[in-house]
Amino acid sequence: MKRVFIAGDAYSTRFFDLPLESDDELSLLPSLEVASYHVARFALVMQDDGLVGIGICPGSFLLVSDFSLEPITGRPVLVRQEGQFLVRIAADVNPVECRLTTTRPEDPPLVLPSENIRIAGVVSGIIPPKAD
């Protein structure tokens, strides 16, 4: 088994802060045990229902990797813009702009110039919340 540190809460409907400056800071946080083959660098706890349509419910742990061997289009990603983060589905990523969506029809797509954002991670695993 491998320990993955829980870096904080995640949202798909608003930007949030994360303490990702160094691995030393992450090592001070609570952690999860995951399979040793998992490539996740850290985990986040989903706090809203913007991605419930793909099985990510409030309370789900998102295992976030620094990279993906597969294309990210259609997958949930951790987006960084001006020091703030957001978890959304990468609907279209190209050199000009990025279109990021949720699974709720009431949430409009977020379209940002590619030069203003960075894909900081890819959700490579999901641990559902424990049933009561």
19 domain-assigned: yes
11 domain-assigned: yes
Region 15-20: what's the mean pLDDT?
86
pLDDT in tens, 42-80: 999 999 999 999 999 999 999 999 877 778 999 999 999
What range defines the domain where residue 56 resides? 2-127
pTM for the complete prediction? 0.90
132 domain-assigned: no
Q: How many structural domains is the chain composed of? A: 1
CA distance 107 to 66: 26
113 domain-assigned: yes
74 domain-assigned: yes
21 domain-assigned: yes
The CATH number for 113's domain is: 2.10.109.10
CA distance 67 to 81: 18
Q: Give the max Cα distance, the chain.
A: 45
Pairing state between β 84-93 and 97-101: antiparallel
